[in-house]
Amino acid sequence: MNANLLKHRFYLTLFSMTLLVLQSSAEEWPFSLNCPKDVTVSCHDEIWNLSIYGNATITEGYKTYSAGTPVVKYFLNSCNSGYITRTWMVEDNMWRWHSCTQTIYVSPGSASGPYITWPQDIELTGCNPQTSPNQLPPGYNYPEWDNTGCGMYGKSYSDMLFTVNSQCKKIMRTWKVMDWCTTTSSYSNTFYKHVQFIYIVNNIPPVVNCPANITIESINCQNAYLTTNSLTLAPGTCGGEFEITNNSPYATSKGNNISGTYPIGTTKVSYSIRYGCGKTFYCNTNVTVLNGAKPVPYCLGEIVTALMGVDTDKDGKFDNGMVEIWAKDLNKGSHSKCGNHPLKFSFSKNVNETYRIFTCDHIGKNNVEIWVTDSEGAQTFCMTEINVQNNGANIPNCKPKTATPPPTPVAPIVTSRRLNGTVTTITDKPLEQVDVKLEYKDAIITYTSKFDTIETLLLDSFINASGYKLYRYTYGKKINEKRDTNTSFITRSVKTIVDGKFKFDTSALANKSAFVSATYSDSTHSHIDQKDVLLLQKFLAGEITFSSYQQYLASDIDENGRIDETDLQALTDLVEKRIAGLPGSFQWFLLDTKAAYPNPSDVLKGSLPLKISLDSITSTTPDVNFVAIKKGNISVDQGSIKEDLQTESRIQPVKDLIAVFNPNPYNDKVILSISHPQGGAGILSMLDMNGRELYKNTINIDLGSFESIIDLSELPSGMLFYKVVLRDQVASGKLIHLK
């Protein structure tokens, strides 16, 4: 063997022995792969940096070291819940593979849900501002929530618009946020809800020209009737009419017209114009009623007086005369029928001209006016005669003058006049037993005079030859006139006959202005039934419109100049006999048939033509006619309604149909109990206070009685009205929803 071969064998043997030694050592040292424990975490916890949940190690003998990087697999759904695996694989020194797996279980988020920041309430100005969420600023547009990766959230919203007027609206925006990952069969656990309020307000005040102060006169010592125009305004910048009311305690209505009967004195009246959302503009005026009832004058018909001689040139002879007369001395029982004392007497309107001096220039009969002024400043006068004589004074060239007799008061010419007319309903049906009244506007003043002739002892004076002034009494004739003034208001009253006609055939004053009015009343419930309630409900709901002013007037139950849910409530209560009569001053409106309203709703805005004014009554005066409108009788003229209401026109007042809700008030669900002798298919409707239909459903009603549980939780809270229609009969009532 050569040396190289021997050397090769030696090294081979040495290597084999080394391997045997190493194999023997490996069998003595244990080998293990150590996995971290399985854990359960929430999707809120860390699920990407998994080393925090431990790492696998290798133990070999007394040494431990890292098992390296595991293979990670995610088994998570779209909501980040499920499990994660971490698998380590290592090979020992004997070329054997070892593996272990850690499982990390990931649970959904907590049941409390996310923290949501909801949009805040916001007020927008203008007529039609942008209200879409993408047009609103941050914080007011969309809900926001914390994004923890544990849920899939979606949002939606729905709007309900509430209109107060054209300048004030409110949007109730209901937001809903749904978590896809926590959806269950329970509605409350599926959605998160929030209501955002968006206010649309136009605060631009109206342009108002306040009426000037008004002054009128009273002739009855107490009050006077004021007729004035209605306060009208241009529409607001957003369109629509302003709501105008007045606070006058004497106005016939509380709307935009202050006509009415006012007492003597000054009444401060304020118009209130509502605009925007609850803002009010005030406009003030004064109504002053002066006492126009003038005092009643009674004067002496005539007095005779003698001049006292006067020596103006100091020559010892009378060349003129003088006498002083006071106006109050000519009074003979003047008085104020209103008690406005004391009275002042003067020779003219000037209350300071209380006396006059008569001289030779006034010899003879002098017609003078004696003015009587009461404490309130009202004035009137009477005529009297002052007979100035030159008796004992014997003043030269002081001669009587021809006196002008006082004018004789002329009473109004009374001639026979006749006034005719008719009262009919809006369907031209004559109305019997209507009270018709004819009143003259101005007082009628008549005079009566009585003359008495008496002899009286008169005091006279003269200057004798020695220059002494001497006095003497002489007899003279004196004629006294007693003049009486009578003031009265003439009225006449008649009733219509079976054909609705009336006639004033008594003597009427010519050339005197007058006015005619009519009043009527009958049974409260006549002509009013469920048809009228249904029509008013449909009108308020916007389903129909009225084309005649009579229907607008009949619908304004409380006579406040507008038609609203208050009128509907009062009419419903009357039909269902919960009240004995309707509110307001009128049961029937009797208007001049010549009244015209191009826009039918204008009948609610001003004073009504309840009195027909006549300049005078002559033989050619045309007939005076009235149209009678029963308040609440809306269905009397169905031909003017812009909808086919044949079904409603056949509806009669409730007889056999009874419908009751329990409980009332309710929270979510109610039990509807119905009784009817026949049963059949009926219709249940729910309406709000404005008559808008909120709910409608068909119900099959069993013969005799019927009960059903109905979920009305989605209806708005507050006062609701229900209506059940079955076989041309209607049952209705009120239902209160509490939330």
Q: What is the pLDDT of residues 202-219, one digit of tens each?
A: 888 888 888 889 988 777
* Angle 26-28-32 from CA coordinates, rounded to 5°: 75
Query: How does the average pLDDT of the chain come out, rounded?
Result: 79
Mean pLDDT of the 663-687 span: 81
> Which pTM value belongs to this model?
0.37
In the structure, what pLDDT confidence band is assigned to residue 412 with cuts at 50, 70 and 90? very low
Residue 417, pLDDT score = 64
Handedness of CA 186, 190, 194, 200 (dihedral sign): negative
Residue 467, pLDDT score = 56
Give Cα separations from 188 to 146, 193, 712 (angstroms). 20, 9, 17
Mean pLDDT of the 119-125 span: 90
> Burial of 724 by CB count in 10 Å (0-12 exposed, 13-18 middle, 19+ buried)?
buried
Give Cα separations from 159 to 109, 163, 167, 196, 531 (angstroms). 31, 13, 19, 9, 34
* Percent of the chain residues topping a pLDDT of 90: 13
In the structure, what pLDDT confidence band is assigned to residue 183 with cuts at 50, 70 and 90? low
d(CA 715, CA 708): 18
Residue 411, pLDDT score = 42
Is the pLDDT assigned to residue 127 strictly greater than 50? yes
Phi and psi at residue 552, to the nearest 5°? -60, -45
Give domain 3-107's CATH architecture. Sandwich (2.60)
Give Cα separations from 347 to 329, 357, 369, 406, 631 (angstroms). 11, 11, 6, 15, 58
d(CA 728, CA 198): 43
* Angle 401-407-413 from CA coordinates, rounded to 5°: 160
140, 122 Cβ separation under 8 angstroms: yes
Q: What is the CATH number of domain 214-291?
A: 2.60.40
Instruction: Determine how β-strand 122-125 pairs with β-strand 191-201.
Output: parallel
d(CA 611, CA 362): 53
d(CA 508, CA 511): 10
Q: What is the CATH number of domain 408-443+489-644?
A: 2.60.40.10
In the structure, what pLDDT confidence band is assigned to residue 284 with cuts at 50, 70 and 90? very high
Cis previous bond, 396, omega within 30:
no
Give Cα separations from 147 to 41, 55, 652 (angstroms). 18, 29, 62
Q: Pick the range with the lowest mean pLDDT from 209-223, 336-350, 456-470, 543-557.
A: 456-470
285 three-state secondary structure: strand
Residue whose C-alpha is closest to residue 338's, from 255, 218, 252: 218
Numbered ranges of CATH 2.60.40.1930 in the chain? 658-737
Numbered ranges of CATH 2.60.40.10 in the chain? 3-107, 408-443+489-644
Is the pLDDT assigned to residue 493 strictly greater than 60? yes
Residue 457, pLDDT score = 56
Per CATH, is 658-737 categorized as 3.40.50.970? no
d(CA 324, CA 302): 16
Per CATH, is 116-201 categorized as 2.60.40? yes
Residue whose C-alpha is closest to residue 85's, from 114, 50, 58, 60: 50
Half-sphere exposure in the Cβ direction for 64 (13 Å, CA): 6
